[in-house]
Amino acid sequence: MSQAEVTTTGSAIAHIQRRTPVDVPGLPAEMPEILRRVYANRGIRDAQDLERSLSGLLPPQLMSGADQAASRIADVIERQGRLLVVGDFDADGATSCAVSVLAIRAMGHADIDYLVPNRFEFGYGLTPEIVALAAERSPDLIITVDNGISSIDGVAAANAAGIPVVVTDHHLPGDRLPAAAAIVNPNAPGNEFPSKATAGVGVIFYVLLQLRSELQTRGWFERRGQTAPNMARFLDLVALGTVADVVPLDHNNRILVHQGLQRIRAGECRPGILALLEAAGRDAHRVQANDMGFAVGPRLNAAGRLDDMSRGIACLLADSLDEARPLAAELDQLNRERREIEQDMRIEAENMLGEWERTTQDLPWGLSLFQEDWHQGVIGILAARIKERYHRPVIAFARADQDTIKGSARSIPGLHIRDALDRVAALHPDLLQKFGGHAMAAGLSIRLQDFTRFADVFDQVVRDQLEPDQLQPLISSDGSVPSHDMTLETARTIIEGGPWGQGFVEPMFDDVFEVRSSRVVGKRHWKLVLQDPDRETTVDAIAFNALDQLPRMPDRIRAAYRLDINEWRGTSSLQLRIEYMEPA
C-alpha cells in the first residue's frame, strides 16, 4: 500500500492509505471499472450483494422474538386495549415511535400513544420513574423502541404495576436481561438475525411486519373489511432513523435505506421529512443518505438535545406540510441554538487541550473532559468533534445534578468503547454508576468527586488496548481517478451506487493537483480550481472548514477527495469535495 502523510486540523497526523486492488469476477462485466473497484474495496463479491429491491430483505421470521412480540401486541389490539410506546430521545428513537404509531393506526387500532422521557429529568430508557409516568395513562402493554434491553428495574416496576412490557432494542445487553413479556434485539443472546447492525427503527419495523402477518392470520383485517397496509410506506422513516443513528450499512440496512430514499425522492414520504428537508435547503427529489445524516437527523435530534423530543415526533406524525412546516421551523431554530452552544463548548475544550499539551507535552490516549456549565444535551456532539480532531477516544461530561456527572463517549477504530467501560467497571466496581452503548458510542454516569480518578483509569484502559500507531487516523482511498473518469457522469454513477454511509463509506480518491486558482469563501472554506499535472482540463473543488488546515494555499497539493455534483442555477457540474490536503 502506498501512503502519504496529511496534516489535518488539530493535533492528529493522518495518512492516506490506498486500498489494495481486488479483482472480483462476480460483478457484472458491464459495470464501470471505477465502480467495480469501489465495490470490491467494500467487500462486495457478487451482484447479489448489490441487490436493493425489497425482495432482498431478510425475512421477519429470522428476527428472534418478533413472533412473540407480535402475538402480545395483537392480543391487546384484538381486545381494543391501550398500547403505549416508550422511545428514546434521538432520531432513531423518534422515527421508531413514529413508525410504531403510524403503522399500528394503519392496521386499524387507534388507541396507541407514545411517551419519550425528557433526558434532563428522567435520563435514558424505561426507568421506574418513567413507568410511574406511563401508568398514569393506564396502558395494557408498553412497547419500548430503541431502548429497554438494560431496563432491569424499569421492567420490574412495570410488572409490579401489572403492565407487561415488550422490549425492542438494538443496544448491546448487559449480563442480565429484563423480565419482559418479549424481547426483540438482534444483539441479544440467542438471536440469530444476521443483520446485527439493525437500528432501533429497523427492529420495530421487523416487529410490525410480523404483527401484520399475525393479524392477517387471525382474520383481523378480513373481519374489519380492511386491506392490510403496505409496510413499504413507512420506509422513509426507517431510512432516516437508520442513517441518523450511524449504524453500519450492511446489505440489509442498505436495502432499507435505498427503498426509503426512493420513496422520499418520489414525494411519497411523511410531510415532516419534506418540511425538514425544506428547512435545511435540501432538494427532496435528489436526496441522498448524507442528507438524512447531516441535514434532517441533526434538526430532529436538536429537539431531544435542547428541549423535548416530542416536538420532533409531532413533526414526523404531521398529516400535512402546512402542519409540519411550523414544527420543522422550530426544530431548525433549535438546531441553530445547538450549533452555537456546541461551538462555545468546542472552543473551551480545545483551549483546555491546548493548555494540556503546552504543560505536559502529551495528551492522554483516552480523553475525559468536563466543564461545569457544559450542556448535557450537546456533550455527545462535542465528544465526536474532539475525537475527529485528535483521533483518540473521548468522553465529554456535563453535570447531571449536585453529585453526579453524565458522560457521552465516542471512540476510534480499534477500541470498542462499551467494552472499555466494562473493563473500567471490572477493575473499579465502585467507579461507574451505570453505562451502556455500542462499539463506537456509549453513555455513562459517575460521581463528580470521582472524575479525576475515572479519567486516569480510562486513559490506562485505552493505553492497554491500543497501539501508538492507532492514534494516527488512516484515510482509506480508492486510488486515483483516471482522466477519462474525471467527469460529471462518473460522479453520478458513484452517487447512485450507494447508499453510502457508516460501514459502506462513500468513495474517496486521492491525486496530486496543480492549484490554478484559490480563494476563501464563507470565512473558513477553500474554493479551488485544480489541474492534474498530466491533463489540460481543470476541475472545480471545495474544501470545507480547511482554512486552519492550510492557511496559505500552495501551488501544488495532494488531496483526498470525493466526486460531487455542484448544482447552480439549474446547471450541474463536477466538483471535487476535498476532505484532506497537503502541499505536494
**pLDDT tens per residue, range 205-243:** 999 999 999 999 999 999 999 999 999 999 999 999 999
How are beta strands 432-437 and 509-521 bridged, if at all? unpaired
Hey, what domains does the chain have and what are their CATH numbers? Answer: 3-30+475-583 (2.40.50.460), 62-229 (3.90.1640.30), 363-468 (3.10.310.30)
> Which amino acid is it at 444?
L
Q: In angstroms, rounded to a whole number, what is the distance separating the alpha carbons of residues 500 and 495? A: 8
pLDDT at residue 438, rounded to an integer:
79
How are beta strands 165-168 and 182-184 bridged, if at all? parallel
Q: In angstroms, rounded to a whole number, what is the distance separating the alpha carbons of residues 564 and 561? A: 9
Peptide bond preceding 499 in cis form (omega within 30 of 0) = yes
Helices (H), 434-529: 451-465, 488-496
Q: In angstroms, rounded to a whole number, what is the distance separating the alpha carbons of residues 478 and 290? A: 19
E-assigned strand segments in 377-508: 394-399, 404-410, 432-437, 441-447, 474-477
* pLDDT tens string 449-485: 999 999 999 999 999 999 998 998 889 999 999 988 9
Confidence class for position 172, pLDDT limits 50, 70, 90:
confident
* CA dihedral for 467, 473, 477, 483, sign (positive or negative): negative
pLDDT at residue 532, rounded to an integer:
87
pLDDT at residue 6, rounded to an integer:
34
- Read off the C-alpha cell for 469: 500507531
Q: In angstroms, rounded to a whole number, what is the distance separating the alpha carbons of residues 44 and 213? A: 33
Lowest-pLDDT range of 1-10, 370-379, 386-395, 502-511: 1-10
pLDDT at residue 304, rounded to an integer:
87
pLDDT at residue 1, rounded to an integer:
31
How are beta strands 538-543 and 571-583 bridged, if at all? parallel
pLDDT at residue 2, rounded to an integer:
32
* pLDDT tens string 320-331: 999 999 999 999
Could you give the strand order of the β-sheet that contains 165-168, starting from the edge strand earlier in sequence?
112-115, 83-86, 141-145, 165-168, 182-184
Q: Which residue has the cell 406540510?
A: 321
Q: Which of 287, 184, 306, 197 is nearest to 240 (CA)?
A: 287
pLDDT at residue 13, rounded to an integer:
60
Q: In angstroms, rounded to a whole number, what is the distance separating the alpha carbons of residues 137 and 158? A: 13
Confidence class for position 119, pLDDT limits 50, 70, 90:
low
Q: In angstroms, rounded to a whole number, what is the distance separating the alpha carbons of residues 311 and 308? A: 6
**Farthest-apart Cα atoms in the chain, separation:** 76
Q: How large is the average pLDDT for residues 309-322?
A: 96
Q: How large is the average pLDDT for residues 34-49?
A: 92
- Read off the C-alpha cell for 450: 470521582
- Read off the C-alpha cell for 432: 461507574
* CB 73 within 8 Å of CB 99: no
Element (H, E) at 78: helix 66-78
Q: In angstroms, rounded to a whole number, what is the distance separating the alpha carbons of residues 495 and 209? A: 30
Helices (H), 225-378: 235-244, 251-265, 271-279, 289-291, 297-306, 310-317, 321-360
Q: How large is the average pLDDT for residues 91-98?
A: 97
222 vs 105, 107, 549, CA distance in Å? 16, 11, 64
Element (H, E) at 376: none
Cβ neighbours, 10 Å, residue 76:
21
Q: How large is the average pLDDT for residues 551-566?
A: 94
In this model, does residue 5 exceed pLDDT 80?
no
How are beta strands 556-568 and 571-583 bridged, if at all? antiparallel
Could you write out the DSSP letters of every residue in 422-433? HHHHHH-TTTEE
Q: How large is the average pLDDT for residues 129-138?
A: 95
Q: In angstroms, rounded to a whole number, what is the distance separating the alpha carbons of residues 290 and 90? A: 17
Q: In angstroms, rounded to a whole number, what is the distance separating the alpha carbons of residues 439 and 410? A: 9
Q: Which of 370, 415, 407 is nearest to 391 (CA)?
A: 415
Report angle CA 332, 336, 341 to the nearest 5 degrees. 145
Q: In angstroms, rounded to a whole number, what is the distance separating the alpha carbons of residues 101 and 84? A: 9
In this model, does residue 120 exceed pLDDT 70?
no
* CB 268 within 8 Å of CB 234: no
**Phi, psi torsion values for 571, nearest 5 degrees:** -115, 135
Mean pLDDT over the full length of the chain:
93
In this model, does residue 515 exceed pLDDT 60?
yes
- Read off the C-alpha cell for 76: 391487546
Q: How large is the average pLDDT for residues 161-176?
A: 94
In this model, does residue 189 exceed pLDDT 80?
yes
Q: How large is the average pLDDT for residues 333-353?
A: 95
- Read off the C-alpha cell for 23: 479483482
Confidence class for position 535, pLDDT limits 50, 70, 90:
confident
**Phi, psi torsion values for 41, nearest 5 degrees:** -65, -15
DSSP label of 501: B
Confidence class for position 11, pLDDT limits 50, 70, 90:
very low
* CB 262 within 8 Å of CB 517: no
Q: In angstroms, rounded to a whole number, what is the distance separating the alpha carbons of residues 314 and 181? A: 29
In this model, does residue 18 exceed pLDDT 50?
yes
The C-alpha torsion from 206 through 212 and 217 to 223, rounded to 10°, is: 170
User: The whole model's pTM is what?
Assistant: 0.90
Share of the chain above pLDDT 70, in %: 97
* pLDDT tens string 255-277: 999 999 999 999 999 999 999 99
Q: In angstroms, rounded to a whole number, what is the distance separating the alpha carbons of residues 124 and 118? A: 8
Share of the chain above pLDDT 90, in %: 81
- Read off the C-alpha cell for 163: 403492565
